[in-house]
Amino acid sequence: IFSDDKKEMDSIKELTSRYDIPQEEHILLRWMLEGPEEQVQKEMRNRMVE
């Protein structure tokens, strides 16, 4: 899990430096992409429990 996350971070850093995206926007983008994914995972777990 950790290595994939590291790869993802590296690729995002590469993209942000290539397009010169400020750090704040970079964090916001990450949050926007990861937030819904976490919500979906929670929903799936809740449904499996019920």
The reported pLDDT for the residue numbered 42 is 80
The reported pLDDT for the residue numbered 3 is 67
Structural domain count, the chain: 1
> In the chain, what is the straight-line distance between the N-terminal and C-terminal CA atoms, in Å?
27
Angle at 1 between CA 16 and CA 48, to 5 degrees: 115
Angle at 32 between CA 3 and CA 47, to 5 degrees: 80
What residues of the chain score a pLDDT lower than 70? 1-3, 12, 15-21
How far from the centroid of its chain's Cα atoms is residue 18's Cα? 19
The reported pLDDT for the residue numbered 19 is 66
Which residue range(s) make up the domain with 14? Answer: 2-49
Q: Contact, 9 vs 27, CB < 8 A? A: no
